[in-house]
Amino acid sequence: MRGKEHFRCSIFDFRLPMAIALVCFATGVSAQTVTLEAMLIHASDRPAALDTRLDRIEYRLRRIFQFEHYGFLGETRTLITLPSQSRVDIGHGYALDINASSRDGRIRAEIQWYRGGQRMMSTSVSQRRGVPAILGGPPHDGGTLILVLEFK
């Protein structure tokens, strides 16, 4: 009987919920999780079929660039805990090194874009969630690479 009472007392004691709340609060303060979406696109003037996987971004790209065709090369989604450093393989021999942190409601990310062992581009950006950044320019297979990076 004493054991049962002790157990009941522990469960309904205010200290247990408070401890759980504190753990949750501390976890929320110290770490923030975001999803990084990286879409690799091949832009060229060679004829290519429309790809529905580009529906949400192609109309924007056409306003910015003058390429005739846009092809989907690949897309990755990576869960990132802020702050942290991650390496993301985006396919076709390309990879990203990302050092991301959260600041003032934005995500500050230092991004290094590699082709094999060669670093093609290094940049530091401050992004809002849901607002993509467009990286690009490296030549690829007779066209040009475009990388759409978005934190969600």
Q: How far is CA 81 from CA 32, 47, 95, 111, 118, in A?
A: 6, 40, 19, 15, 26
By CB under 8 A, residue 30 contacts other proteins: no
- Min dist CB 94 to other proteins, Å, is 13
135 binds other proteins (CB under 8 A): yes
Least distance between other proteins and beta carbon 81 (Å)? 21
CA–CA dist 7, 12 (Å, integer): 9
Q: Which stretch binds other proteins (CB under 8 A): 5-13, 17-25, 47-55, 130-138?
A: 130-138
| Beta carbons within 8 Å of 116's beta carbon, 6+ residues apart | 93
> Contact between 152 and other proteins (CB under 8 A)?
no
**Which of positions 81-120 make contact with other proteins (CB under 8 A)?**
106, 118-120
CB 65 within 8 A of CB 148: no
The residue type of 44 is: S
Distance CA 7, CA 104 (A): 44
In whole angstroms, the minimum distance from the beta carbon of 140 to other proteins comes to 10
| Cα separations in angstroms, 20 against 15, 29, 30, 32, 108 | 9, 14, 15, 18, 30
To other proteins, the closest distance from the beta carbon of 88 in angstroms equals 17
Give the shortest CB-82-to-other proteins separation in angstroms: 17
By CB under 8 A, residue 35 contacts other proteins: no
24 binds other proteins (CB under 8 A): no
Q: What residue ranges bind other proteins (CB under 8 A)?
A: 43, 59-60, 63-67, 106, 118-128, 131-139, 144
